[in-house]
């Protein structure tokens, strides 16, 4: 006689319940790709809808209709926009953004030269602003509601309120014109030494640092203050640990997730926000390249620059989301 054991109906665990971290990361990746595809449609359609025409701009107002039609046919502008979009998207996926209408050079090659300049400018600004923001945030927490904290808050509010171009022109006036200790315009080229390049990049870097520093510092301060109210921080203080040591050793590491999230979002702004700064300082980066292309209606360049900026911004935002997900202990150690 056999004895049967009724274990009951055990519901099968879903994929999310078994691997919540992997599922959420995969969702963010798919969402970012879908968003980038939607943005590519908006960029291509929006650029096509811009007023003005390259053929008319290139030939001048006195051009005959036949000459304009010939230029449009040569550039393929007489074909349906949907056909041209999918050809452009297919080339962009392979890293081929076509040929510049104005210079007849490869857009990919030109962007390769300019993108390095923009990324180096953003990286230099990030290397200065991130540790400075974290340090000032911890300093503001240490002197909370006292004079140093108030001074830092007032300066950060002032920096947040000022637009990039105003800060840039103010730095040019003070350091390049009045004191003549900085280089303007900020032109860089391959033959420059590291010292010459850093001197040329000083003013645009300082502008970007001032733009993003205040926001990162205030968010760092808020994140550390949130951790400071935890029970284990009170225990650390009761054990005789100094306030500054408690902030550096316990509060800051436990607030790293929101801080890294804010840093990633500000890095995204740094890469995209260089457009205004590069135009102000005549810096040969992606932003200046795109603005120059807009003035002559060089649509392949404008579309390529717009797509690359969008891709970098979406990627860094996705990275911030993934960092926030990975930093969540309930997702790292599901029960």
Q: 3-state secondary structure string, 270-311?
A: HHHHHHHHHHHHCCCCHHHHHHHHHHCCCHHHHHHHHHHHHH
Q: Which residues, in sequence order, are CB contacts of 53 under 8 Å at separation 6+?
A: 68, 72, 297
**How far is 40 from 23, CA to CA, in rounded Å?**
26
pLDDT tens for 54-64 read 666 666 666 67
Q: What is the pLDDT of residue 258?
A: 73
pLDDT tens for 197-254 read 888 888 999 988 888 888 888 887 887 777 766 666 666 666 666 666 666 666 666 6
Q: Decide if pLDDT at 38 tops 90.
A: yes
pTM of the model: 0.76
- Between 71 and 106, whose confidence is greater? 106
**In this predicted structure, which of 5-14, 42-51, 303-312 has the lowest mean pLDDT?**
5-14
Q: How confident is the model at residue 37 (pLDDT cuts 50, 70, 90)?
A: very high
Q: Which residues, in sequence order, are CB contacts of 184 under 8 Å at separation 6+?
A: 172, 176, 177, 203, 281
Q: Which of 115, 101, 121, 227 is nearest to 164 (CA)?
A: 121
Q: What is the pLDDT of residue 240?
A: 64
Q: What is the pLDDT of residue 1?
A: 46
Over residues 65-93, mean pLDDT: 81
Q: What is the pLDDT of residue 233?
A: 63
Taken in order 123, 128, 132, 133, the sign of the CA dihedral is negative
Over residues 310-325, mean pLDDT: 82
**In this predicted structure, which of 53-57, 108-112, 159-163, 220-224 has the lowest mean pLDDT?**
53-57
Q: Which residues, in sequence order, are CB contacts of 148 under 8 Å at separation 6+?
A: 139, 140
**How far is 118 from 120, CA to CA, in rounded Å?**
5
**In this predicted structure, which of 26-35, 99-108, 123-132 has the lowest mean pLDDT?**
99-108
* Residue 248 DSSP symbol: I
Q: What is the pLDDT of residue 229?
A: 67
Q: Decide if pLDDT at 166 tops 50.
A: yes
Q: What is the pLDDT of residue 80?
A: 84
Taken in order 69, 73, 76, 78, the sign of the CA dihedral is positive
Q: Decide if pLDDT at 320 tops 80.
A: no
Q: What is the pLDDT of residue 35?
A: 92
Q: Decide if pLDDT at 333 tops 60.
A: no
Over residues 106-115, mean pLDDT: 85
Q: How many CB atoms lie within 10 A of CB 172?
A: 19
Entry field: residues in the chain: 335
Where b means 16+ CB within 10 Å and e means fewer, 95-116 reads eebbebbbeeeebbebbeebbe
pLDDT-above-70 percentage for the chain: 79
Over residues 54-82, mean pLDDT: 73
Q: Which CATH superfamily is domain 107-332 in?
A: MetI-like (1.10.3720.10)
pLDDT tens for 262-306 read 777 777 777 777 788 888 888 888 888 888 888 777 888 888 988
- Between 269 and 329, whose confidence is greater? 269
pLDDT tens for 144-155 read 878 888 888 888
Q: What is the pLDDT of residue 330?
A: 59
Over residues 69-89, mean pLDDT: 81
């Amino acid at each position: 006689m056999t004895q049967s054991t009724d274990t009951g109906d055990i519901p099968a665990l879903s994929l999310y319940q078994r691997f919540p971290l992997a599922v959420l990361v995969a969702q963010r990746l798919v969402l970012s790709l879908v968003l980038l595809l939607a943005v590519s449609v908006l960029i291509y359609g929006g650029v096509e809808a811009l007023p003005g025409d390259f053929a008319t701009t290139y030939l001048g107002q006195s051009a005959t209709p036949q000459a304009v039609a010939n230029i449009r046919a040569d550039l393929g502008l007489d074909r349906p926009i949907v056909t041209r979009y999918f050809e452009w998207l297919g080339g962009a996926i392979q890293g081929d953004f076509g040929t510049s209408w104005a210079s007849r050079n490869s857009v990919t090659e030109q962007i390769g030269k300019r993108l390095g300049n923009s990324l180096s400018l953003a990286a230099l600004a990030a290397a200065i602003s991130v540790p400075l923001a974290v340090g000032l945030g911890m300093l503001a927490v240490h002197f909370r509601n006292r004079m140093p904290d108030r001074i830092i808050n007032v300066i950060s509010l002032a920096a947040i309120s000022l637009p990039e171009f105003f800060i840039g022109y103010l730095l040019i006036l003070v350091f390049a014109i009045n004191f003549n200790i900085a280089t303007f315009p900020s032109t860089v080229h391959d033959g420059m030494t590291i010292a010459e390049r850093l001197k040329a990049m000083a003013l645009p870097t300082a502008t970007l640092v001032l733009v993003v520093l205040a926001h990162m510092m205030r968010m760092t301060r808020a994140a550390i203050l949130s951790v400071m109210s935890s029970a284990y921080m009170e225990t650390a203080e009761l054990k005789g640990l100094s306030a500054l040591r408690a902030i550096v050793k316990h509060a800051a590491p436990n607030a790293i997730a929101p801080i890294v999230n804010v840093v990633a979002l500000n890095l995204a702004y740094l890469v995209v926000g260089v457009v205004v700064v590069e135009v102000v300082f005549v810096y040969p980066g992606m932003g200046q390249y795109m603005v120059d292309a807009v003035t002559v209606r060089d649509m392949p360049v404008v579309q390529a620059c717009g797509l690359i900026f969008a891709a970098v911004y979406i990627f860094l935002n996705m990275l911030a989301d993934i960092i926030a997900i990975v930093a969540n202990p309930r997702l790292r150690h599901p029960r």
